[in-house]
Amino acid sequence: MCIRWGVLLYELLTGTTPFSSKELRAAAYAEVQRIIREVEPPIPSTRLSRNTTTIADIAAHRNTEPRKLGALIRGELDWIVMKALEKDRQRRYETASGLARDVQRYLAGRGGGCRAAEPDVPRAEVRPAAIASASSPDRSLRACSCSA
């Protein structure tokens, strides 16, 4: 699946693109390519929590409190967005329909379509790389794998 849907969802949730446009404009073309290919963007809930002005503005537009907005995004929505932005094509959603299905399940209150990981599959292999490598407890998610 094309990453653009993940970028769009990221921007809808955080009010900004996964990578700073200012940073990308200042970089040479080869550096921009390297950033896009190799650098993991901040997890959406982390991006929001780092910018109190942005989270307050976005929360106001959604008629909620900033801390509630962060809590809503942390977890399943983080997981869905980071899977859509996954660098490894084999771990990314195969189709836009798979992404849409997980978003619809989340909105219906059934989670992002995640199911418990199989016992023989290591936990780090069933989550998007950016989340699997997250070291702080508030950014780590339960192990799950979504059908795409």
Kindly report, residue by residue over 6-61, the tens digit of the pLDDT. 999 999 998 889 999 899 999 999 999 999 999 999 999 999 888 877 788 888 88
CATH assignment at residue 83:
1.10.510
User: For residue 4, how many C-alpha atoms fall within 13 Å in the half-sphere facing its CB?
Assistant: 1
Paired tokens of 28: 């040479």
Check residue 59 and give its pLDDT: 87
Residue type at 110?
R
Report residue 2's pLDDT band, with 50, 70 and 90 as the boundaries: confident
pTM of the model: 0.72
What is the number of structural domains in the chain?
A: 1
For residue 137, the enclosing domain spans: 4-146
Q: Which residues of 56-89 are buried (b: 16+ CB within 10 A; e: fewer)?
A: eebbeeeeeebeebbebbbbbbbbbbbbbbbeee
**Which of 26-30, 63-67, 129-133 shows the lowest mean pLDDT across its residues?**
129-133
Q: Which two three-digit tokens encode residue 102?
A: 């997980």
Q: Which amino acid is at 52?
A: T
Token digits for 93? 């959603």
Per-residue pLDDT, 142: 33
